Chains A and B, each alone.
Chain A
Amino acid sequence: MNSAFTGTGRLARLALRRDRVQLPVWILSTVALGAFARSALDTQYPTEADRLAVLRVAVDTPAVLMFRAAPTGTSTGEMTAFGILAFLAILAGFMSTLAVIRHTRQNEETGRAEMIGATAVGRHAGLTAALVVVVGANVVLGALIALTLVGAGEPAAGSLAAGAGVGAAGIAFAAVAAVAAQLTQSARAANGIAAAVVGASYLVRGVADAFGEVRPNGYTMTSAWPSWLSPIGWTMQMRPFAEGGNRWWVLALPLALLVVAVAAAFALAGRRDVGMGLLADRPGPGQASPALLSPLGLAWRLQRGTALGWGIAIGVFSLVLGSMANAVDDLVAENSGVTGTINDLAGGGAHAIMDAFFGAMMATIGALVAGYLVQALMRPRAEEAGTRAEPVLATATGRLTWLGGHIAVATAGAVAMLGLAAVAMALVYGLSVHDLGGQLAHLAGTAYLQLPAVLTLAGLAVALFGLVPRFAVGLTWFGFALSFVLGPYGALLGVPESLRELSPFSHTPAVPADATAAPIVVMSAIALVLGAAGLAWFRRRDLAT
């Protein structure tokens, strides 16, 4: 065996041992989401005619195509692929990028790799071991997805194509992460690059599907060419279950990416030192600027990268949505059936179609802003666990000031992002309908309806941080995910009403015309109480590493 790879087996076993809980949880949750979506179909759209009706509307509704996929047919298998496959590919992507970076760059950053490198282990063993583990995890994931689909009565070939498509997307993103891990010095930055690629792949796929061509039958589509640029597009291009589908040769694309990216990663790794990145650190200021020198200034400095990243993503996304609104505007005249679907997505009620469209879009923006806010509020925990909070709290900085600074920065960021979304959509759409001022006011109103629900999740994050710091990160993300599975996506997944009530997003009015004071006041109060309780608990407890 080549000496550069000596010890790969041992390192792979070590990685598996470290991930013995994490990877199975990722895999099983992803498989469960797929199985759930498949079984929900039977109650939601039981007959062929139901499904045909939905697809006829969907192909004319860019927003639906953006978030689902280009439909390939009305069978339950094809409907499952239409509804959930792109989500499963995202989950496989994040599982893979996080795991690859955990076992490569993060090891280097913490100095573990240096200790390991000093033992009898080859230079490429760490990366190879990480890839072996992650590719294996994706094979297991794909196989389980295929098995559950076969178990639900779907044809074997299509089930296998669906599973293979998801697993292959995971493998493609693992390859991307392998390169990202060579570029930066910090695991956070590498994770950021890899996550941006996963997100961009989803968006590119979405735009390609939204601008796809409807086939003559009026309910299936061919995606536009950019779909071929995206690993998630490749998953959909396998067209599982479709007539003339199950295109196995598409799998060659992610595998080719794997080979090329791994070769590139090895080449890059050969050109740098352990612990260093290719994007070298430039020296910074030898003195602090006055803006940094307060608890609030520090919180902003630590959070601004996160805020900037999410801000750019939300801004671009809002511009895309604004331009799609123009297309919806054109459609309204031609097809009244669209109204029903969009109104369904927006939570019912008979509104002017554009209101309903923006309501549905702002719900998505609300989800993104909530994601940002939750991530930003994980910062204090990262500071505490990394023992960077300790020396700060040993200065004349009180605990409430310290935590309050982080909460203030994160919340201000969320408020700004909702405003940014409204401005971006209004710019594109308002200018095209020659009513910038009116649209801006209306869209800002729609956007800020999301704020109480977003703040409720923030309150949950702060309360958990105060009460159970060691579990706060996992529990908060779990609460975040649950509030969407139960809330906005609950209707699509067939979740019973009583459970859906638990999500703050179930109580969020879609458009200003629907808004009543009660849910807004109640949610704001819950957010405040949770936040205050979290602060009080944090003040009373030990710092926990």
Chain B
Amino acid sequence: MTSAISVSALVKTFGRVRALDGLDLEVEAGEVHGFLGPNGSGKSTTIRVLLGLLRADSGAVSLLGGNPWRDAVTLHRRLAYVPGDVNLWPNLTGGEAIDLFGSLRGGLDRQRRDELIQRFQLDPSKRARTYSKGNRQKVAIVAAFASDVELYVLDEPTSGLDPLMEAAFQECVREVKGQGRTVLLSSHIFSEVEALCDRVSIIRQGRTVESGTLAQLRHLTRTSVSVETTLPITGLADLPGVHDVDATATHATFAVDTAELNNALAYLTQFDVRALSSAPPSLEELFLRHYGDELAGAVR
């Protein structure tokens, strides 16, 4: 598989702030790639470097086979971008802004534009200054998905959308994925990433801390288990990979590294299991584990 985006050891500083500190990112052609990280971790900065809006200090960056700084204009014909903070011209209408972005990108599909405006329930004849944040985001989303491009770069595109519009957005992403296009989706919304993404990269303080398919990452997480037995449970806490055991004689709840799940269940059968429920590991949990110590650091 060829990669649509390939970033390695990317460094970007603003004065004394080291926004990106050796970041790596691989996005393969045709995949939806989730880009997760806490506020200020460098997601938007990475995207701006990928779009040639910022210049990398060091590191290798390749986008659709080209150099995003040098070949900006030709590469931009092949991609669509939804910024994290959509600001429009107050006295242009939403419809005008959509047409403008589409045309500057090299043309847009009129029929699809009108259909998307319907789908997102946008009034295109309103001036942008009267739009809420969510409506401004819809303008950028419609303009992006009405363009016939290979790559969609979306920076927290749904942070202002209501659940109905969120569903419409997910539908759009699935459609373009079905057409074999590539999506880089920076997001805060775990359910969205879990629903849409083939692979995920998690960054913190300008570095990539995890990267892989959801299945691979789940492997690194813990499953919560609640179990009831006939015989009293003993020795559970001593098993490898088992944590946070809370047990009365015949009832226990605990978390287990997903890699050790099978061993733990095999061990439990000797106590005659009567009921068992388990909660699958969520991306959110994984994320919190990585940035939990940051929170702890902030409290300290």
Q: Is B180 an interface residue (CB 8 A)?
A: no
Contact stretch, chosen from B79-87, B195-203, B256-264: B79-87
Q: Given A390-B83, A398-B73, decide whether A281 and B127 contact each other with a Cβ distance below 8 A.
A: yes
A284 B101 Cβ-Cβ under 8 A: no
Q: Given A391-B101, A396-B74, A396-B76, decide whether A287 and B55 contact each other with a Cβ distance below 8 A.
A: no
Q: A292-B96, A293-B104 are in contact. List 15 more A-B contacts (CB 8 A).
A: A284-B93, A285-B93, A286-B95, A287-B96, A292-B100, A294-B103, A301-B89, A301-B92, A392-B101, A393-B51, A395-B101, A395-B104, A396-B106, A397-B104, A398-B72
Q: In angstroms, how far is the closest chain B Cβ from the Cβ of A482?
A: 29
A393 B53 Cβ-Cβ under 8 A: yes
CA distance A369 to B83 in the complex (A): 37
B140 A391 Cβ-Cβ under 8 A: yes
Q: Which of A284, A298, A399, A540 has the most chain B CB within a 10 Å cutoff?
A: A284
Chain A positions within 8 Å of B219 at CB level? none
Q: In angstroms, how far is the closest chain A Cβ from the Cβ of B79?
A: 8
Q: In angstroms, how far is the closest chain A Cβ from the Cβ of B85?
A: 6
List 12 interface pairs A-B (beta carbons < 8 Å), by A numbering.
A281-B127, A281-B129, A283-B125, A286-B125, A288-B95, A293-B100, A294-B103, A298-B100, A388-B89, A392-B101, A395-B101, A397-B76
Chain B positions within 8 Å of A288 at CB level? 95-96, 98-100, 103
Which of under 10, 10 to 19, 20 to 34, or 35 or more describes the interface residues of A?
Answer: 20 to 34
Q: Mark A517-543, 1 if CB is under 8 A from B, else 0.
A: 000000000000000000000001111
Tell me which residues from 89 to 122 in chain B have a Cβ below 8 Å from any Cβ of chain A. 89-93, 95-96, 98-101, 103-106
Q: In angstroms, how far is the closest chain B Cβ from the Cβ of A476?
A: 22
Q: Which of A285, A295, A394 has the most chain B CB within a 10 Å cutoff?
A: A394
Task: Give how many B residues have a beta carbon under 8 Å from the other chain's beta carbons.
Answer: 42
Among residues of A, the one whose C-beta sits closest to the C-beta of B153 is A394
Q: Mark B206-245, 1 if CB is under 8 A from A, else 0.
A: 0000000000000000000000000000000000000000
Q: Is A185 an interface residue (CB 8 A)?
A: yes
CA distance A391 to B136 in the complex (A): 13
Tell me which residues from 241 to 298 in chain A have a Cβ below 8 Å from any Cβ of chain B. 281, 283-288, 292-295, 298
**B: which residues have CB within 8 A of A?**
48, 51-55, 72-74, 76-77, 79, 81, 83, 85-93, 95-96, 98-101, 103-106, 123-127, 129-130, 140, 153
Chain A positions within 8 Å of B54 at CB level? 542-543
Q: Is A343 an interface residue (CB 8 A)?
A: no
Q: Which of A281, A295, A392 has the most chain B CB within a 10 Å cutoff?
A: A281
Chain A positions within 8 Å of B52 at CB level? 393
Closest 6 CB pairs of A and B: A288-B99, A395-B104, A293-B103, A286-B95, A284-B93, A288-B96
B73 A396 Cβ-Cβ under 8 A: yes
Partner of A388, one of B87, B104, B129: B87
Partner of B99, one of A281, A287, A391: A287
Q: Is A387 an interface residue (CB 8 A)?
A: yes
B93 A392 Cβ-Cβ under 8 A: no
Chain B positions within 8 Å of A284 at CB level? 92-93, 96, 125-127
Chain B positions within 8 Å of A185 at CB level? 90, 129-130
A396 B81 Cβ-Cβ under 8 A: no
A293 B83 Cβ-Cβ under 8 A: no
Q: Which of B93, B104, B127, B140 has the most chain A CB within a 10 Å cutoff?
A: B104
Q: Is A354 an interface residue (CB 8 A)?
A: no
Chain B positions within 8 Å of A292 at CB level? 92, 96, 99-100
Partner of B104, one of A295, A386, A399: A295
Q: Is A446 an interface residue (CB 8 A)?
A: no
Partner of A392, one of B48, B99, B104: B104
CA distance A396 to B72 in the complex (A): 8
Chain B positions within 8 Å of A301 at CB level? 89, 92
CA distance A391 to B83 in the complex (A): 7
